[in-house]
């Protein structure tokens, strides 16, 4: 146990050339680097807007397709998440081989077309078909956007950038909530308008990325690949073999990284998805009040992610994640017990500050663990599989809330009514998940400050590669051995 605790404290890297403030690093960025980062953030924001356009409109979609029921509507969400895995694998592999920019542009423009078409569907079968196609395509966005944005930034800025990038989802939730509050109720096209707006946003992001030059890191990688092609010839034929070899050699790292992402995603879903329902059903708030409280939580998430990313540059990725998880859990009583909008808003602000602060550091932690030459593929697989594993969190909370041990009696219009006990189920679930998340985070090591943009794998004569994730040179005594280079020796 002492070994694990000591391993969380980052050691000074021999490559560091003295401290540099975040302000100095940000001032040194070129407009191209800012634009590349902004395009990645916008891509994640657009992805979130589309996702929440469905989850926040399940009731409206049920009314649109009454014969099929709410289970059929939620099936669209599940299918979407499952197919994202296959999209992450395919597009991640292609991006690591041919570059990020134009593949990301093509995916975004295609997704925009699918979103536009979704607004015109007449049957649930059409809706499910388009959501399935969209899920496969959008699966490549997260890995490409994160790797494209981070690898073109200075190492000193990546923790800060990771926190902001991941909060694109919080901003997407905020935008989708605002559209649902002010656009949908008075519009005769109702939920269809949301997909048309999302289509325009996605097309705008794709256009912006198209006019921004390719990153220096990607250009260097392309030059290396051209040299390899001239020397060996037809390396594309062994692309699938190389990806399979990487996953086979690093399967333990992939598994633990997936479990970390799954736990972090479960914390996000477990503390966010059912909270508005809890406020309405258990606390008696109106839909408008519940939406306002949820948006306050989104603001806490954005601020928490920004601060945690910056802090991780100095105290390490894993220690930051653990600190913010503990911080968020400390405010659970204020998040659940009060009955006033003001106190509940304060509670949700700090819970989301902690939860999303921890989630904000996760992308850079995973990116710095990626095997050489497979950053986009590794990120895509780990995130999409982990995200799918966490997708059933809110459904599990609902099942628990409807059991007789958790149901509670509330007074509605002067009458006593038995309702699901969402508060107790959410507290129990996220408490268990938080403990599990900390355990898996401790099991990982970290390569804080790794220049993963320089670690493109080199194809050798027999078509094989060295997929072992590199380690940073430290100026102190070496840490104990790691199994497979990344998982700490559990026998210690």
**For residue 153, what is the DSSP state?**
S
Dihedral angle over CA of 363, 369, 374, 380, nearest 10: -30
Distance CA 347, CA 345 (A): 5
pLDDT tens digits, one per residue of 123-143: 888 888 898 898 888 888 888
**Which pLDDT value is given to residue 412?**
63
Distance CA 363, CA 260 (A): 11
**Res. 450: pLDDT tops 90:** no
Of the listed ranges 69-78, 116-125, 190-199, 416-425, the one predicted with least confidence? 69-78
Q: Identify the band that residue 25 occupies on the pLDDT scale cut at 50, 70 and 90.
A: confident
**Which pLDDT value is given to residue 461?**
41
**Which pLDDT value is given to residue 349?**
95
Q: Identify the band that residue 427 occupies on the pLDDT scale cut at 50, 70 and 90.
A: very high
Q: Identify the band that residue 491 occupies on the pLDDT scale cut at 50, 70 and 90.
A: very low
Extract the tokens encoding 335. 């998040």
Number of C-beta neighbours around residue 403 at 10 A: 12
**Res. 230: pLDDT tops 60:** no
Which helix or strand (DSSP H or E) is residue 411 part of? strand 408-412
Q: Identify the band that residue 304 occupies on the pLDDT scale cut at 50, 70 and 90.
A: very high
pLDDT tens digits, one per residue of 322-360: 999 999 999 999 999 888 999 999 999 999 999 999 998
Distance CA 148, CA 103 (A): 11
Mean pLDDT, to the nearest integer, of 409-417? 70
Distance CA 49, CA 45 (A): 6
Distance CA 64, CA 46 (A): 24
Distance CA 486, CA 58 (A): 42
Three-state SS for 237? Answer: helix
Q: Identify the band that residue 110 occupies on the pLDDT scale cut at 50, 70 and 90.
A: very high
The residues with which 418 forms a beta bridge, in sequence order, are 409
**Which pLDDT value is given to residue 228?**
59
Judged on CB neighbours under 10 Å (0-12, 13-18, 19+), 226 is exposed
Dihedral angle over CA of 84, 89, 94, 95, nearest 10: 70
**Which pLDDT value is given to residue 249?**
81
Mean pLDDT, to the nearest integer, of 404-421? 75
**Which pLDDT value is given to residue 346?**
94
Of 46, 170, 59, 42, which is closest to residue 112 (Cα–Cα)? 46
pLDDT tens digits, one per residue of 150-169: 877 877 777 788 888 888 88
Mean pLDDT, to the nearest integer, of 40-56? 85
**Which pLDDT value is given to residue 353?**
95
**Which pLDDT value is given to residue 393?**
83
pLDDT tens digits, one per residue of 370-402: 777 677 778 878 888 888 888 778 778 888 888
**Which pLDDT value is given to residue 479?**
36
Of 190, 179, 177, 394, which is closest to residue 292 (Cα–Cα)? 177
Q: Identify the band that residue 488 occupies on the pLDDT scale cut at 50, 70 and 90.
A: very low
**Res. 455: pLDDT tops 70:** no
**Which pLDDT value is given to residue 74?**
66
Residue 62's alpha-carbon distances to 1, 68, 119, 294, 296, in angstroms, are 51, 8, 15, 23, 28
Answer left, alpha or beta for residue 244, where phi above 0 means left and psi between -120 and 50 means alpha.
alpha
Long-range contacts of 411-416, Cβ-Cβ distance < 8 Å, separation of 24 or more: 412/284
Provide the mean pLDDT of the chain.
78
Distance CA 439, CA 373 (A): 29
Distance CA 407, CA 120 (A): 40
Of 413, 420, 470, which is closest to residue 445 (Cα–Cα)? 470
């Amino acid at each position: 146990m002492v070994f694990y605790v000591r391993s969380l404290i980052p050691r000074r890297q021999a490559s560091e050339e003295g401290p540099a403030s975040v302000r100095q690093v940000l001032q040194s960025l070129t407009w191209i680097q800012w634009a590349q980062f902004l395009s990645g953030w916008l891509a994640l924001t657009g992805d979130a807007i589309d996702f929440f356009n469905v989850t926040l409109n399940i009731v409206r979609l049920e009314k649109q397709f009454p014969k099929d029921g709410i289970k059929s509507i939620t099936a669209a969400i599940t299918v979407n998440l499952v197919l994202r895995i296959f999209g992450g694998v395919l597009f991640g592999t292609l991006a690591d081989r041919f570059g990020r920019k134009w593949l990301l542009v093509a995916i975004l423009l295609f997704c925009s077309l699918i979103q536009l078409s979704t607004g015109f569907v007449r049957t649930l079968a059409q809706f499910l078909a388009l959501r399935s196609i969209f899920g496969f395509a959008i699966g490549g966005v997260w890995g490409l956007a994160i790797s494209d944005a981070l690898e073109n930034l200075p190492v000193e800025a990546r923790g800060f950038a990771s926190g902001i990038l991941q909060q694109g989802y919080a901003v997407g939730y905020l935008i989708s909530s605002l559209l649902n509050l002010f656009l949908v109720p008075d519009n005769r096209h109702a939920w269809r308008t949301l997909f048309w707006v999302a289509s325009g946003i996605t097309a705008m992001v794709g256009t912006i990325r198209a006019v921004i030059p390719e990153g220096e890191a990607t250009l260097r990688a392309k030059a290396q690949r051209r040299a390899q092609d001239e020397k060996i010839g037809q390396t594309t034929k062994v692309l699938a073999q190389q990806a399979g070899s990487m996953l086979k050699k690093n399967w333990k790292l992939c598994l633990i990284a997936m479990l970390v992402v799954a736990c972090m995603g479960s914390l996000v879903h477990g503390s966010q998805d059912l909270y508005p329902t809890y406020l309405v059903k258990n606390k008696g708030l109106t839909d408008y009040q519940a939406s306002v409280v949820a948006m306050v939580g989104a603001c806490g998430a954005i601020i928490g992610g920004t601060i945690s990313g910056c802090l991780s540059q100095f105290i390490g990725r894993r220690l930051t994640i653990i600190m913010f998880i503990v911080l968020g859990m400390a405010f659970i009583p204020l998040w659940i017990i009060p009955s006033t909008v003001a106190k509940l808003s304060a509670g949700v602000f700090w819970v989301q500050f902690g939860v999303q602060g921890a989630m904000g550091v996760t992308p850079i932690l995973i990116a710095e663990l990626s095997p050489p030459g497979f950053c986009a593929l590794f990120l895509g697989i780990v995130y999409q599989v982990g995200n799918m594993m966490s997708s059933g969190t809110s459904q599990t909370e609902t099942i628990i809330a409807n059991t007789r041990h958790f149901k509670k009696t509330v007074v509605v219009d002067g009458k006593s009514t038995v309702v699901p006990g969402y508060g107790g189920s959410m507290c129990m679930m996220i408490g268990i998940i938080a403990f599990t998340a900390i355990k898996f985070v401790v099991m990982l090591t970290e390569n804080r400050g790794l220049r993963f943009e320089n670690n493109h794998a080199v194809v050798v004569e027999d078509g094989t590669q060295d997929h072992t994730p590199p380690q940073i040179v430290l100026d102190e005594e070496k840490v104990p051995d790691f199994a497979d280079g990344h998982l700490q020796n559990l026998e210690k």
